[in-house]
């Protein structure tokens, strides 16, 4: 799909108050094709970013989902006086009620949002750098709505943690792993024994196996199954089917098929036998962290043996053997996540006004977010909200 928007490149000298900033130029690119080369360069070693910000994940989201939602690409690239790229912000711009809001691309499908940074620059970034970065944006944007940002990534501070912030609405359960540590350090022996006894029933099935899908045909087959089963599972839980929204299925298929080294941009882990796909988990990885994006399990009688938990055990052990340091199961505190993840990733939101009109919008966004968080933290309010949603949804 081609983008109709033309490239707008605006050069802005850093304002006088930011003389200490290394940022000398800020370009705004509104065409994904124009941003692609610079963006892919930020995915190479020596850069700090989460796997959710890869071009091959966010570009199809923007083209297939963002466009449907009225969001336009707004990619911000900052450079030093020698024109070396220092950071790239993958944003999209929306206009509603006369307010221009820039958010991270990816909508509700990215657990973590972050810029792509030159790692050395990120380690030294100060408020003056953020001032220099944001100053040229006020011509185009009233408010920045920067949600679900990790405070740290791979033991390095996210420079945006210097901005005013508040805790995100939802937490993200995290499993910190000791690479090559004993299996019991990840999953207790008693939990392993419980899973093993459940798995005995599945092991009797012809062709029973765990695998990571590597072939296009396997990926397509597993996704065909997922898009049949997931709506039924969500209906059973009285949840809206977010995968039915315009462009979502095509976006997910695109990212699952996009190659990344010897893997895919979204990897699909599966537990299956010859006659049935039993469970799948799909997520993004970068060699140190695996982050889950979506999952489901069979509607057949095999579901009674906790196949999702068994698959999770295979994935966790495989990650630890490959030297991963952590794994997360996405936003939200579902019971099964707490079985594996005892810690929480610290994530925050920043609502940054860039114009006087944006100040009111930032205050409203901040208050709404705090209110949602309060409801989530209070079980009685949360149950009431869920009951109302089911009654009127």
* pLDDT computed for residue 375 by the predictor: 66
* Residues 221 and 155 placed together within one structural domain of the fold: no
The stretch 56-76 carries a mean pLDDT of 97
Give the CATH number for residue 150.
Answer: 3.40.630.30
Q: Is residue 33 part of a domain?
A: yes
Q: What range does the domain containing 155 cover? A: 16-170+346-392
- Copy the structure tokens of residue 220: 């397509």
Give the CATH number for residue 219.
Answer: 3.40.630
Q: Is residue 334 part of a domain?
A: no
Q: Is residue 121 part of a domain?
A: yes
The stretch 151-167 carries a mean pLDDT of 94
Which residues partner with 152 through β-bridges?
157
Q: Is the confidence at residue 281, as pLDDT, over 80?
A: yes
* Residues 182 and 145 placed together within one structural domain of the fold: no
Q: Is the confidence at residue 46, as pLDDT, over 90?
A: yes
Q: Is the confidence at residue 11, as pLDDT, over 60?
A: no
- What's the mean per-residue pLDDT of the chain? 90
Note the pLDDT tens digit of each residue in 80-103.
999 999 999 999 999 988 899 999
Query: Closest Cα partner for 255 from 154, 153, 110?
Result: 110
Count the Cβ atoms, other than its own, within 10 Å of residue 20.
12
Note the pLDDT tens digit of each residue in 188-245.
999 999 999 999 999 999 999 999 999 999 999 999 999 999 999 999 988 889 899 9
In sequence order, what are the residues at sequence separation of 6 or more whose Cβ sits closer than 8 angstroms to the Cβ of residue 236?
A: none
* Residues 253 and 320 placed together within one structural domain of the fold: yes
Q: Is the confidence at residue 79, as pLDDT, over 70?
A: yes
* Residues 144 and 234 placed together within one structural domain of the fold: no
Q: Is the confidence at residue 44, as pLDDT, over 60?
A: yes
- Cα dist from 210 to 22, 134, 268, 273, whole Å: 49, 47, 11, 9
* pLDDT computed for residue 392 by the predictor: 66
Query: Closest Cα partner for 94 from 114, 115, 71, 111?
Result: 71
Q: Is the confidence at residue 4, as pLDDT, over 50?
A: no
Q: Is the confidence at residue 273, as pLDDT, over 60?
A: yes
Cβ–Cβ < 8 Å for 37, 44: no
Which residues partner with 73 through β-bridges?
92
Q: Is residue 186 part of a domain?
A: yes
* Residues 311 and 227 placed together within one structural domain of the fold: yes
* Residues 299 and 186 placed together within one structural domain of the fold: yes
* pLDDT computed for residue 138 by the predictor: 95
* Residues 198 and 318 placed together within one structural domain of the fold: yes
In sequence order, what are the residues at sequence separation of 6 or more whose Cβ sits closer than 8 angstroms to the Cβ of residue 332?
A: 170
Q: Is residue 329 part of a domain?
A: no
Query: Any idea which of 149-163, 304-318, 377-391 has the lowest mean pLDDT?
Result: 377-391
In which element (H, E) is residue 148 found?
A: strand 143-150
Q: Is residue 335 part of a domain?
A: no
- Indicate the pLDDT class of residue 367, thresholds 50, 70 and 90: confident
Q: Is the confidence at residue 15, as pLDDT, over 50?
A: no
- Rounded to 5°, the CA angle 26-31-35 comes to 55
- Indicate the pLDDT class of residue 380, thresholds 50, 70 and 90: low
Give 85 or 261, the one with higher predicted confidence.
85
Total domains in the chain come to 2
* Residues 165 and 198 placed together within one structural domain of the fold: no
Q: Is residue 27 part of a domain?
A: yes
- Indicate the pLDDT class of residue 168, thresholds 50, 70 and 90: confident
* Residues 88 and 158 placed together within one structural domain of the fold: yes
* Residues 123 and 193 placed together within one structural domain of the fold: no
* Residues 214 and 267 placed together within one structural domain of the fold: yes
In which element (H, E) is residue 376 found?
A: helix 356-377
* Residues 132 and 29 placed together within one structural domain of the fold: yes
Q: Is residue 1 part of a domain?
A: no
């Amino acid at each position: 799909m081609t983008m109709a928007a033309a490239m707008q490149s605006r050069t802005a000298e850093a304002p006088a108050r930011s003389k200490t900033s290394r940022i000398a130029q800020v370009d705004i690119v509104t065409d994904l094709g124009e941003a692609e080369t610079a963006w892919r360069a930020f995915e190479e070693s020596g850069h700090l970013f989460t796997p959710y910000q890869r071009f091959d994940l966010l570009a199809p989201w923007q083209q297939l989902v963002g466009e449907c939602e009225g969001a336009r690409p707004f990619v911000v690239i900052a450079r030093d006086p020698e024109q070396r790229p220092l950071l790239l912000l993958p944003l999209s711009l929306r206009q509603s009620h006369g307010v221009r809001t820039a958010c991270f691309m990816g909508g509700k499908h990215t657990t973590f949002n972050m810029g792509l940074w030159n790692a050395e620059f990120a380690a030294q970034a100060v408020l003056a750098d953020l001032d220099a970065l944001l100053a040229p944006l006020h011509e185009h944007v009233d408010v920045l709505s920067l949600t679900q940002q990790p405070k740290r990534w791979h033991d390095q501070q996210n420079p945006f943690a210097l901005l005013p912030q508040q805790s995100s609405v939802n937490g993200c359960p995290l499993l910190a792993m000791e690479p090559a540590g004993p299996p019991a350090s990840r999953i207790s022996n008693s939990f392993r024994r419980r899973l093993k006894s459940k798995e005995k029933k599945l092991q009797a099935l012809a062709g029973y196996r765990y695998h990571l899908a590597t072939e296009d045909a396997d990926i397509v087959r597993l996704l065909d199954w997922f898009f049949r089963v997931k709506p039924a599972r969500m209906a059973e839980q009285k949840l809206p089917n977010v995968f039915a929204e315009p462009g979502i299925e095509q976006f997910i298929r695109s990212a699952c098929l996009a190659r990344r080294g010897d893997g895919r941009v979204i990897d699909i882990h599966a537990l299956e036998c010859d006659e049935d796909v039993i469970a799948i988990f799909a997520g993004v990885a970068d060699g140190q962290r695996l982050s889950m994006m979506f999952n489901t399990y069979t509607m057949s009688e095999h579901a009674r043996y906790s196949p999702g938990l068994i698959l999770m055990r295979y994935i966790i052990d495989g990650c630890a053997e490959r030297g991963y340091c952590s794994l997360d199961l996405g936003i939200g505190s579902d019971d099964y996540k707490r079985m594996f993840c005892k810690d929480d990733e610290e994530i925050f939101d920043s609502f940054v006004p860039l114009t006087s009109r944006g100040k009111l919008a930032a205050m409203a966004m901040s208050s709404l977010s705090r209110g949602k968080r309060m409801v989530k933290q209070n079980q009685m309010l949360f149950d009431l909200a869920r009951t109302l949603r089911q009654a009127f949804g």
